[in-house]
């Protein structure tokens, strides 16, 4: 009489649950690291495009994908969806929303500025005639005090 061995998994439940856990937290950490670095960057008043943030979020999404592939759970899939959406939002924001049009206005090298009338902070009028007083100037347009 022959007996067939029962099909029993040799993996314990705790080992099964921990599968991919390190890479899961690495994914979350990569995403959060991008945010922390952005806060530090602007806290240090460094003005450049924080490309590293969407890159880190994308790396985080890949880690979370690997984690979810190794063991699927609601938490892992939810984290994957959220971080992927966050990475996509950042890419969209930096690539499209923050893009400035190239300057093609009339103030090109070799030309004078068209007539205008603005005001110095002391209330005195500022016109194109003030620019021809012999002083060299850097004129910078900024977005505002906010």
- How many Å apart are CA 4 and CA 9, to the nearest integer? 15
Residues 110-139 as x/- pattern, contact with another protein by CB under 8 A = xxxxxxxxxxxxxx--x-x--xxxxxxxxx
The CB-of-34 to another protein minimum distance in angstroms stands at 14
Count of residues interacting with another protein (CB under 8 A): 50
List the interface residues with another protein, window 53-92 (CB under 8 A).
none
The DSSP line for 23-91 is HHHHHHHHHHHHHHHHHHHHHTT--S--THHHHHHHHHHHHHHHHHHHS--HHHHHHHHHHHHHHHHHH
Closer to another protein by Cβ: residue 33 or 131: 131
Start-to-end C-alpha separation, the chain:
85
Least spacing, CB of residue 13 vs another protein, in Å: 48
Contact assessment for residue 28 and residue 65, using Cβ atoms and an 8 Å cutoff: no
CB of 139 to another protein, least distance (A): 5
The binder of another protein chosen from 12, 14, 45, 74 (CB under 8 A): 45
Q: Which residues bind another protein (CB under 8 A)?
A: 45, 47-50, 94, 98-123, 126, 128, 131-146
């Amino acid at each position: 009489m022959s007996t067939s061995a029962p099909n029993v998994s040799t993996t314990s439940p705790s080992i099964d649950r921990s599968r991919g856990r390190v890479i899961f937290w690495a994914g979350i950490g990569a995403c959060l690291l991008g945010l922390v670095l952005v806060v530090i960057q602007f806290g240090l008043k460094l003005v450049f495009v924080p490309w590293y943030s969407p890159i880190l979020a994308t790396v985080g999404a890949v880690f979370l994908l690997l984690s979810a592939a190794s063991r699927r759970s609601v938490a892992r899939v939810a984290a994957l969806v959220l971080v992927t959406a966050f990475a996509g939002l950042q890419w969209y924001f930096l690539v499209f929303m923050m893009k400035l049009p190239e300057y093609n206005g009339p103030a090109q090298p070799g030309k004078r500025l068209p007539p205008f009338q603005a005001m110095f902070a002391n209330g005195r009028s500022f016109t194109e005639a003030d620019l021809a007083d012999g002083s060299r100037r850097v004129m910078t347009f900024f977005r505002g005090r906010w």
